[in-house]
Structures are given as C-alpha cells and as structure tokens.
Amino acid sequence: MSTKVTKIAVMTSGGDAPGMNAAVRAVVRACVFNNIECMGVLRGYQGLIDNELIPLDSRSVRNTISRGGTFLQTARSAAFRTPEGREQAYKNFKANGLDALIVIGGDGSFTGGMIFNKEFKVPVIGIPGTIDNDIYGTQFTLGYDTALNTVVEAIDKIRDTASSHNRLFFVEVMGRDAGFIALNAGIGAGAEEILIPEENLGIERLVESLENSKKSGKTSSIVVVAEGDKTGKGVFELKDYVEKNMPEYDVRVSVLGHMQRGGSPSCFDRVLAGRLGVKAVDLLLGGQSNLMVGINNNEITAINLEKAVKLHHDINMDLLRVADILSI
C-alpha cells in the first residue's frame, strides 16, 4: 500500500536546460495548491547526499519562469552511483520528512531515480529536461524548443555574413548522438545540407551536393552538422576535405557550443513545464510512482521510467526528405 504523500522533494539533475526553472515553479505551486509541502534539492543527487535542501513556497519561485539554467543548480554526482552515497541520501531524505521525489533531467537522472525507488521504496516521478530531445516517451523534452529557436537565430546571423562573402559555413550544433536539433533547426534556418548521426551521407556525396548547389546559382551555403554526426571525424575535418576538393569555396566553421543551452525559455517550453510539473504532482498524489511524464499529440502522458530509459526516441526521417526538397 502506498503511503500518503505530504512532502515532495524536487531536483534538477544532469545537464541544465531552459524550462527547468519553470518546471520547478510548477511543481512548487501544484504542491501549494494541494496543501502539501515542497523542498528543493540543490545540485541534484549530490545535494541530497550533502543535505542541501531548501523549503520552497509560491513566493520562493517568483520571477523564475523566464530564467534559463536552474536556480536549484545541477550536478553529476559520482557518489550517488554508490550504495553508500544513496544510503546517505535516503537518510537525509527521511530526516527532512520527505516522502516522494520529482527529478527533472535526462535518462541518467531517471536511472538514479529508479534505483533509489527500488532500494528505498521512495516514489519517484521523472520530468524530461534536456535540449537534445533524445528521450523516449515524449515528443518534446523541456529546453528543446528553446534550443531550436536559439540555433535558428544564430544561423540566421551566420547566413548574413556567409552571403556577403560567398562563404560556405559548417555550423556544428549540439544533440549528442541524436540529430533532432540539427534536423529541425537546419530546416528552420534553410540549411543547404544537414548532417545527422542517424544517417551517414558520406563525404563524397556532401561535396557532390554542394557542387549542385553552386551550379544552381547559390553563392553561399550553410551546412548544419550535429555534434554526433559520422560523415567526417568532426566538423573541422569536413572543412579541410571540402576546402581541398572545392577550392572555389571560402569555408568557415562555427561551433555554436554552450550558448545553445542558455537563454530564457520559449513560450512552448514554459507551458510544457507547467503542464508536466502539475501532472507529476497529480501522479504522486494519486499514489503513482516510477513514471516519466511527457507530451504526445498535445496530451500529457506518463510512461514507465524503465521504458523511458531503455527505449530509443527515433527521429522522423521524413524530415530529411523535406530538407532535401526545400534546399533545391
């Protein structure tokens, strides 16, 4: 039988993403709405081990909805991967009178939550927060939409300089082993080519395609490259290869880097954060656990955490065809 939930802990864990603050705010306000207490754990699982928790009420999350990053801070905790670390975390969890945990993060954070649940029967709900969108069970993760907008804005600016100089730009974007950011931002920014880990175009075909672009009258080109792409050994190798084989092009590289993770969350991410946070609290109050909340076809859904961690979120490969057609 599940114990009644009266005090919930919320934390952000793993890599930060825009919208995490909005999700914490939603969890806190849903707790207040339901007359239960809420505490914020600082620096993810490490904060639970070090007993760094703060009480949160409606007013403590004011002016957080528009802020990027995470005011609770986040960390990667090696200690939580050990039984001793988790034992210490549980001691603090109990000492603070907590009886459920909401983790905002990626699949590593959810794995930690599942283990915590298995060992100590702590009810856990996961909220997917990562700009990479690489989590199964949700069409959109928190921060992904904001990152897309950031990348499109950056590429628009790069396009201005590329077209003024007849340049070819390779723009490397984040996404780890997934091409969600590259493919969607590439289409959004009108890229000539998009290289993603899910499809190895081959370096010769890339050159062929760029030659066709040139023949069709294009004077500048943008190639968006996902950081996990396997066409070359990295964006700088691609540049060297194209420079050698297409000497007429003035080739430049722009690695967008961590600016993609920052910034004020988009309206989409704020609304998503609100809906996911409210659902996470609802599930705990309904006696549910070991679930990840997500959004599918504009409905807020929940799937087993284990499924979310183990299964793969596939990219929509039809978008590659759309990208090809639009870059003609």
Nearest to residue 302, comparing CAs of 140, 137, 110?
137
Bridge partners of 40, per DSSP, are 10, 54
Tokens, residue 311: 């299964």
Question: Given candidates 12, 13, 70, 149, which one binds ligand ATP under the rule CB under 6 A?
Answer: 13
Nearest position to ligand ATP, beta carbon: 108
Which of the following is catalytic: 132, 134, 145, 269?
132
CB of 116 to ligand ATP, least distance (A): 8
User: Has 275 been labeled as part of a binding site?
Assistant: no
Helical ranges in 80-196 per DSSP H:
83-95, 107-120, 144-165, 180-188
Pairing of the two strands 124-128 and 221-226: unpaired
Bridge partners of 41, per DSSP, are 11, 53
Task: Give the SS3 label for residue 222.
Answer: strand
Q: Does 230 bind ligand ATP (CB under 6 A)?
A: no
User: Has 163 been labeled as part of a binding site?
Assistant: no
Site residue total, ligand ATP (CB under 6 A): 17
The interface with ligand ATP within residues 43-82 (CB under 6 A) comprises: 45, 76-77, 80-81
Of 11-19, 235-243, 256-264, 308-316, the segment contacting ligand ATP by CB under 6 A is 11-19
CB of 90 to ligand ATP, least distance (A): 13
Taking residues 90 to 129 in sequence order and writing x for each that binds ligand ATP by CB under 6 A, - otherwise, the string is ---------------xxxxx-xx--x--------------
Burial 115-140 (b: 16+ CB within 10 A, else e): ebbeebebbbbbbbbbbbbbbbbbeb
Q: Which residues are part of a known binding site for Mg(2+)?
A: 107
Binding site for ligand ATP (CB under 6 A): 13-15, 45, 76-77, 80-81, 105-109, 111-112, 115, 130
